[in-house]
């Protein structure tokens, strides 16, 4: 019979060998003809399946709402400083992207992990928060530098509104909202942030769509797909900040001495 040489790479998401490239088996012409969008393409390349429209629309809303948050946040600041140092687009972009992590934009996966685990163990929201406190771990998805109980994050409200009207179930989101109610009773800055909103709502999307087995959901959460949403979204804004600085011909950035506490 046929002897096949062993390959060095295995790939399962796309194929460019035929007449036209396919994403998870779907031809590009079909994607265009059906009028599909970025959310559909993301579903094919990340989840290897077509998701219902309300899911792909949710993904697109996440991308739109997280695309930028002004020049002062960690990522944009790094990108602006790098662009002003005369670096190219890719360097300026990745300089900003490198700030995405547990404090800034990259708490989505941990929020999903901790909310899922706490919900499945049947922990009351206050028990969950107190256990985290005892362990000395900040609750991922909770807290914001400038948002407050009396000045909520509009992005969180918009995502919640969309899910309430379109998702079959929002049980993880409701759990996160109960966690927020408890943390807000402790301090006014401990709001559910956009990472926590996306983390909990994506659990609802995965579980409620009927498109994923329990094992697949566990794997998605364990591998950590969801920070990818913020990385993807914020790239749009960071690229914009790079062009903005170049367009404005901004000089090399130097931080003012007055804004540094020089001390021993």
Q: Which residues are at the interface with ligand ACO (CB under 6 A)?
A: 102-105, 107, 138-145, 187, 189-190, 193-196
Residue closer to ligand LMR by CB (options 68, 204) is: 68
Q: How far is the CB of 51 from ligand ACO (least distance, A)?
A: 24
Q: How far is the CB of 185 from ligand ACO (least distance, A)?
A: 13
Residue closer to ligand LMR by CB (options 84, 147) is: 147
CA distance linking residue 38 with residue 34, whole number of Å:
13
Binder of residue 195, out of ligand ACO, ligand LMR, none (CB less than 5 to 8 A by kind)? ligand ACO
Residue 98 neighbours by CB distance under 10 Å: 13
Joined together, the tokens standing for residue 262 give 């020089």
Are 41 and 24 within 8 A, CB to CB? no
Residue closer to ligand ACO by CB (options 81, 191) is: 191
Residue closer to ligand ACO by CB (options 56, 193) is: 193
Query: Which of 185, 196, 212, 210 lies closest to 105 in space, CA to CA?
Result: 196
Q: How far is the CB of 108 from ligand LMR (least distance, A)?
A: 11
Joined together, the tokens standing for residue 129 give 């928060």
Residue closer to ligand LMR by CB (options 144, 207) is: 144
Q: What's the chain's length in residues?
A: 264
Q: How far is the CB of 249 from ligand ACO (least distance, A)?
A: 30
Residue closer to ligand ACO by CB (options 50, 193) is: 193
State the residues that interact with ligand LMR by CB under 6 A. 69, 73, 145-146, 194
Residue closer to ligand ACO by CB (options 62, 207) is: 62
Q: How far is the CB of 71 from ligand LMR (least distance, A)?
A: 10
137: left (phi over 0), alpha (psi -120 to 50) or beta: beta
Binder of residue 148, out of ligand LMR, ligand ACO, none (CB less than 5 to 8 A by kind)? none
Name the residue number minimizing CB distance to ligand LMR: 69
Binder of residue 86, out of ligand LMR, ligand ACO, none (CB less than 5 to 8 A by kind)? none
Q: How far is the CB of 187 from ligand ACO (least distance, A)?
A: 5
Q: What's the distance, Cα to Cα, between the start and end of the chain in Å?
A: 76
Query: Which of 234, 121, 137 lies closest to 129 in space, CA to CA?
Result: 137
Binder of residue 96, out of ligand ACO, ligand LMR, none (CB less than 5 to 8 A by kind)? none
Q: How far is the CB of 44 from ligand LMR (least distance, A)?
A: 27
Name the residue number minimizing CB distance to ligand ACO: 143
Say if residue 204 is exposed, middle or buried (CB neighbours under 10 Å; 0-12, 13-18, 19+).
buried
């Amino acid at each position: 019979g046929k002897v096949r040489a062993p390959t060095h790479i295995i790939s399962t998401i796309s194929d460019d060998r035929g007449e036209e490239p396919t994403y998870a088996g779907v031809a590009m012409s079909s994607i265009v003809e059906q009028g599909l969008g970025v959310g559909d393409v993301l579903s094919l390349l990340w989840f290897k399946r077509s998701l219902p429209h309300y899911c792909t629309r949710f993904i697109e809303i996440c991308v739109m709402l997280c695309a930028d948050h002004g020049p002062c946040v960690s990522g944009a600041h790094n990108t602006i400083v790098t662009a002003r140092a005369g670096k190219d687009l890719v360097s300026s972009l990745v300089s900003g992207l490198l700030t995405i992590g547990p404090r800034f934009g990259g708490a989505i996966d941990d929020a999903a992990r901790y909310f899922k685990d706490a919900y499945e163990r049947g922990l009351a929201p206050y028990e969950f928060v107190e256990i985290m406190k005892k362990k000395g771990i900040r609750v991922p998805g909770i807290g914001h530098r400038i948002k407050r109980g009396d000045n909520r994050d509009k992005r969180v409200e918009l995502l919640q509104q969309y899910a309430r009207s379109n998702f079959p179930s929002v049980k993880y989101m409701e759990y996160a909202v109960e966690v927020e109610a408890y943390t807000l009773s402790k301090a006014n800055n401990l709001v559910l942030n956009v990472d926590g909103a996306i983390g909990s709502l994506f659990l609802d999307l995965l579980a409620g769509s009927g498109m994923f087995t329990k094992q697949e959901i566990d794997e998605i959460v364990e591998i950590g797909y969801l920070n990818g949403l913020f990385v993807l979204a914020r790239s749009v804004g960071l690229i914009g900040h790079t062009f903005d600085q170049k367009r404005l011909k901004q000089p090399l950035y130097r931080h003012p001495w007055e804004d540094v506490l020089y001390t021993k």
